[in-house]
Amino acid sequence: MQLNLEEIAALCKCTLEGDPKKIIQGASTVESANENEASFISNPKYTSFLKTTEAGVVFISDSAKRVEGKNYLVSKDPSKAFQILLEHLYLEEKSVSAFEGIHSSAVIHPEAKIGKNVSIGPNAVVDANTEINDNCIIGPGSYIGRDCVIGEKTMLHANVTVRELVSLGKRVIIQPGAVIGSCGFGYILDENYRFKKLSHVGHVIIEDDVEIGANTTIDRGRVGDTIIKKGTKVDNLVQVAHAVEIGENNLLVAQSGFAGSSKTGAYVTAAGQSAVGGHISIASGVTLAARTGVVKSIGEKGKYGGFPAKNIDKFRRQQVLMDRLEEKFKQVKQLEKKLQQFEEMMKKNQK
């Protein structure tokens, strides 16, 4: 597919600065785009790339400084406008898989209910009493256990595992390798001091418009439910333990983890490798910086960092002091040496 800049400006609702007949055939990063590709800059610190980019057009904001001789598509949100072009160029032409309908190698239990326009890829398995609603895509090698509900327009990519008693809402997207509904990590010591596994019979409930990244794991509760509320986006390699409740429109970034029965409000962001302890509550509007460790509940919205978690400004001040610690230690040693010399001089004078 190809479009000229006049067509792209109308499609993306941008103001064109440049040649309206210039043809665009693809998209790439601002560093690597060629003369037939579009790119974008949404962060002002990357505007220096405008001097060197060979992109045929660059999506920029109203306030961005221009470099002469370039084509620009100007909007309030260049990333959003660029996304419209991406979807038009790529997603409308190709589906996720060339396999359509129910593949002959898929194994579907006779008591499962399959809706209209459902695609089930090669070697996928659907167990008993599971309901897959209309317009869903189940990728190759995926497994859906018994007594599950899969909402309309939900997409499971290849090799996703959805165990028994899981409910997925509408328009849920799950990336390859994710495991939904595995047992929580719970054991007791028996009379012989050996670990005995606790049964986990709770459900997992994933609400509408949730996205779950590759190789993320979401465990079921021992008796209660694990809930991911609507609009939340979960990155790759995230661990959500038993009976956790994640609020609406959260962002859980790679390698973050939530211990059993923890709970978040709405619009919480957990940056990479942040960790939340068990039975802890986090208020709506909280942002956890990368590698933050939360050991007690956070009741006020704001930004937090460090271990244990504290207000981000306090954490940064402490980090500055820690960086100066070696210098201060050297200064103290020098003062100690001078003090020792002074004391020796005073003793000599007393004699």
CATH number at residue 276: 2.160.10.10
Residue 146 lies in a domain: yes
Cβ pair 139, 196 in contact under 8 A: no
Same domain, 189 and 234: yes
> At residue 350, does pLDDT exceed 80?
no
Smallest CA-to-CA distance from 184 within 241, 130, 108 is with: 241
Same domain, 262 and 140: yes
pLDDT, tens digit (0-9, with 9 covering 90-100), for 111-167: 999 999 999 999 999 999 999 999 999 999 999 999 999 999 999 999 999 999 999
Same domain, 144 and 15: no
Mean pLDDT of the chain: 95
* C-alpha 220 chain-centroid distance: 20
Residue ending a domain, choose from 91, 119, 146: 91
What is the model's pLDDT at position 167? 98
Cβ pair 3, 19 in contact under 8 A: no
DSSP state of 349: H
Same domain, 252 and 129: yes
Residue 41 lies in a domain: yes
pLDDT, tens digit (0-9, with 9 covering 90-100), for 165-207: 999 999 999 999 999 999 999 999 999 999 999 999 999 999 9
Residue 346 lies in a domain: no
Residue ending a domain, choose from 91, 119, 150: 91
Same domain, 116 and 166: yes
Same domain, 144 and 265: yes
The single residue of 88, 200, 242, 279 carrying the catalytic annotation is: 242
Expressed as residue numbers, the domain containing 82 is 3-91
What is the model's pLDDT at position 94? 53
pTM across the whole model: 0.84
The CATH number given to whatever domain includes residue 43 is 3.40.1390.10
Cβ pair 148, 168 in contact under 8 A: yes
Residue 158 lies in a domain: yes
In angstroms, rounded to a whole number, what is the distance separating the alpha carbons of residues 90 and 125?
29
Q: Going edge to edge, which strands form the sheet with 173-174?
A: 119-120, 137-138, 155-156, 173-174, 211-212, 233-234, 251-252, 269-270, 286-288, 302-305, 310-311
DSSP state of 102: B
DSSP state of 153: T
Q: Kindly list the distances between the CA atom of residue 139 and the CA atoms of 19, 119, 125, 174, 196, in Å, as whole numbers in the listed order.
A: 43, 8, 10, 10, 35
Please state the domain count of the chain: 2
Residue 125 lies in a domain: yes
Residue 44 lies in a domain: yes
Structure tokens at 221: 């509760």
109 is catalytic: no
Structure tokens at 326: 């070696």
What is the model's pLDDT at position 345? 86
> At residue 91, does pLDDT exceed 80?
no
Q: Going edge to edge, which strands form the sheet with 257-258?
A: 107-108, 125-126, 143-144, 161-162, 179-182, 217-219, 239-240, 257-258, 275-276, 293-294
Same domain, 142 and 230: yes
Same domain, 82 and 120: no
Residue 342 lies in a domain: no
What is the model's pLDDT at position 92? 56
Residue 331 lies in a domain: no
Strand 23-24 to strand 3-4: parallel, antiparallel, or no bridges (unpaired)? antiparallel
What is the model's pLDDT at position 351? 66
What's the 3-state SS for 292-343? Answer: CEECCCECCCEEEECCCCEEHHHHHHHHHHHHCHHHHHHHHHHHHHHHHHHH
Q: Side-chain half-sphere of 117: how many Cα atoms within 13 Å?
A: 7
Residue ending a domain, choose from 91, 121, 142: 91
Same domain, 77 and 176: no
Same domain, 200 and 167: yes
Same domain, 164 and 69: no
pLDDT band, residue 95 (cuts 50/70/90) = low
pLDDT, tens digit (0-9, with 9 covering 90-100), for 228-285: 999 999 999 999 999 999 999 999 999 999 999 999 999 999 999 999 999 999 999 9
Same domain, 139 and 231: yes
